[in-house]
């Protein structure tokens, strides 16, 4: 069987899709472009309306593409699949598998069964009370390519039920994965050649604080992972501010491999809006956390999520969000226009903010963040840093935007803070996974340009 996987949404989905692809390769399946696939797996997101609409549009295109090709079919998984369920079958006849967020571990066997029984349809939508164990594919065989940056899921689901958020409804209640299993997977990735690990969960700070946990706290897990040989960088996402423990903040001071960057969703700078959202912290508490993090790790940078136009948000309250963004000095932010999601509490909060007002506020917030990012990047010009090359740059250009001289190739790397750094190097060797010391020469809107100092090295 030939397969293709398409992923929407968060890094949790990226990690799930990667595991699924590796599992199918281990079964002897072949990964091909979508137009050549016998089965296309679509891993979906329903946190916002826009990715949901993209999924429906994609399924229409896949239906047209598969016409005249008997035996081909689509599997729909992830958050939107959990939300819509078997209704996909009536709307899209070429969909033969719908699987929810707790059923990923069963998908390889389900796809194999569907391939053998052409008239069968399956829906796997039940939530489980524990983290469903997954067989880990052999990273050394089956044509597997080991990434230098690997994702390791440590938990599933969320217990917070923020007023605007559909995640607990489509991913279920929080279920922590056993620490021994997490550590075993981390060792496998590092042993196979990965240099950087990212621990994933809907709210990693509350890892272990559920019935499925084994008593290991998130801070304890960080320290145990940090001790593993071969690890150069350790990251984690996503963090809920209300659950970040002093021990996790202290880890930024005590663990050199822990990357000096944290994504810490703020959502709003208004105490009233934060209370309506059910976030369970206020502006002052958020700023206390930021101060403690920067005391622990002065070079730490922060990124955040912000919701624009939450129901009843006033101009003054939006201004409070602007002021917090400026005070913290986020290096980057992700902005979302509020929209109602099925079954969440904020659907009933009135009045709603008009689309025109939301759009105007979004543009104002983006302009503020662009200025903060530009200032932060400009301050890096002339400094030296260590990067890990992650692949070829999108465009072969020098710092001034001109075509590269003959014999040079532009490679993209990431520094410890996660910034994209483009470097022109001589030759055509594959530098993926190699480390280098570079000097920043120019700051662009979303990236940096640098020159390499000396030779590259591996982990």
- pLDDT at residue 163, as a whole number: 98
- pLDDT at residue 57, as a whole number: 96
CA distance 244 to 263: 12
CA distance 427 to 406: 10
User: Which residue blocks in 130-280 are alpha helix, DSSP H?
Assistant: 167-171, 179-192, 218-226, 246-254, 271-277
Percent of the residues in the chain that have a pLDDT greater than 70, as a whole number: 97
381 to 76, 346, 425: CA distances (angstroms): 46, 44, 19
Residues of the chain with CATH 3.40.50.12160: 2-124
The residue behind tokens 């078997």 is: 86
Residues of the chain with CATH 3.30.750.210: 146-259
320, 269 Cβ separation under 8 angstroms: yes
CA distance 444 to 266: 26
Eight-state DSSP code of residue 36: G
Residues of the chain with CATH 2.40.50: 384-457
Please spell the DSSP secondary structure of 281-303, one letter per residue: --HHHHHHHHHHHHHH-TT-EEE
In CATH terms, 146-259 corresponds, of 3.40.190.10, 3.30.56.10, 1.10.1740.10, 3.30.750.210, to: 3.30.750.210
70, 119 Cβ separation under 8 angstroms: no
Please give the CATH topology (third level) of the domain spanning 2-124. Answer: Rossmann fold (3.40.50)
User: Which residue blocks in 329-454 are alpha helix, DSSP H?
Assistant: 355-378
The residue behind tokens 């640098």 is: 450
- pLDDT at residue 407, as a whole number: 83
Q: Which residues pair with 396 in a beta bridge?
A: none
Residues of the chain with CATH 3.30.750.200: 264-379
pLDDT tens digits for range 229-278: 999 999 999 999 999 999 999 999 999 999 999 999 999 999 999 999 99
What CATH code would you report for 264-379? 3.30.750.200
185, 152 Cβ separation under 8 angstroms: yes
pTM for the complete prediction?
0.93
pLDDT tens digits for range 325-371: 999 999 999 999 999 999 999 999 999 999 999 999 999 999 999 99
What CATH code would you report for 384-457? 2.40.50
Checking if the pLDDT of 145 tops 80, the result is: no
236, 222 Cβ separation under 8 angstroms: yes
């Amino acid at each position: 069987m030939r397969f293709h996987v398409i992923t929407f949404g968060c890094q949790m989905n990226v990690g799930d899709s990667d595991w699924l692809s590796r599992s199918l390769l281990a079964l002897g399946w072949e990964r091909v472009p979508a137009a050549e696939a016998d089965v296309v797996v679509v891993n979906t997101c329903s946190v916002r309306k826009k990715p949901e609409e993209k999924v429906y549009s994609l399924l229409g295109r896949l239906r047209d593409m598969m016409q005249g090709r008997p035996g081909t079919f689509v599997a729909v998984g992830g958050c939107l699949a959990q939300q819509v369920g078997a209704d996909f079958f009536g709307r899209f006849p070429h969909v033969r598998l719908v699987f929810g967020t707790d059923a990923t571990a069963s998908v390889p066997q389900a796809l194999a069964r569907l391939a053998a029984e052409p008239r069968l349809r399956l829906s796997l939508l039940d939530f489980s009370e524990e983290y469903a164990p997954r067989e880990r594919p052999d990273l050394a065989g089956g044509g597997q390519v080991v990434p230098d940056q690997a994702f390791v899921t440590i938990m599933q689901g969320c217990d917070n039920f923020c007023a605007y958020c559909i995640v607990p409804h489509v991913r279920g209640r929080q279920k922590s994965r056993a620490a021994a299993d997490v550590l075993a997977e981390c060792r496998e990735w590092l042993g196979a050649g990965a240099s950087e690990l990212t621990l994933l969960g809907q709210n990693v700070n509350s890892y272990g604080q559920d019935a499925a946990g084994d008593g290991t706290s998130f801070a304890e897990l960080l320290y145990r992972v940090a001790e593993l040989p071969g690890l150069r960088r350790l990251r984690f996402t996503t963090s809920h501010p209300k659950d970040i423990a002093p021990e996790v903040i202290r880890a930024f001071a005590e663990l050199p491999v822990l990357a000096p960057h944290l994504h810490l969703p703020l959502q709003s700078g208004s105490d009233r809006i934060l209370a309506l959202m059910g976030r369970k912290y206020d502006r002052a508490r958020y700023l206390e956390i930021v101060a403690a993090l920067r005391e622990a790790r002065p070079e730490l940078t922060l990124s955040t999520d912000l919701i624009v136009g939450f129901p009843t948000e006033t101009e003054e309250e939006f201004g409070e969000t602007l002021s917090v963004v400026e005070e913290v000095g986020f290096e980057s932010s992700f902005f979302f226009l509020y929209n109602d999601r099925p079954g969440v509490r904020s659907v009933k909060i009135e009045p709603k903010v008009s689309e025109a007002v939301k759009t105007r506020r979004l543009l104002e917030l983006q302009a503020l963040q662009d200025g903060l990012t530009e200032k932060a990047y400009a301050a890096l010009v002339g400094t030296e840093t260590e990067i890990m090359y992650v692949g070829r740059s999108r465009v072969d250009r020098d710092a001034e935007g001109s075509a590269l001289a003959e014999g040079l190739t532009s490679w993209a790397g990431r520094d410890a803070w996660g910034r994209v750094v483009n470097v022109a190097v001589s030759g055509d060797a594959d530098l993926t996974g190699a480390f280098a010391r570079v000097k920043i020469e120019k700051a662009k809107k979303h990236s940096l340009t640098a020159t390499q100092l000396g030779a590259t090295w591996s982990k």
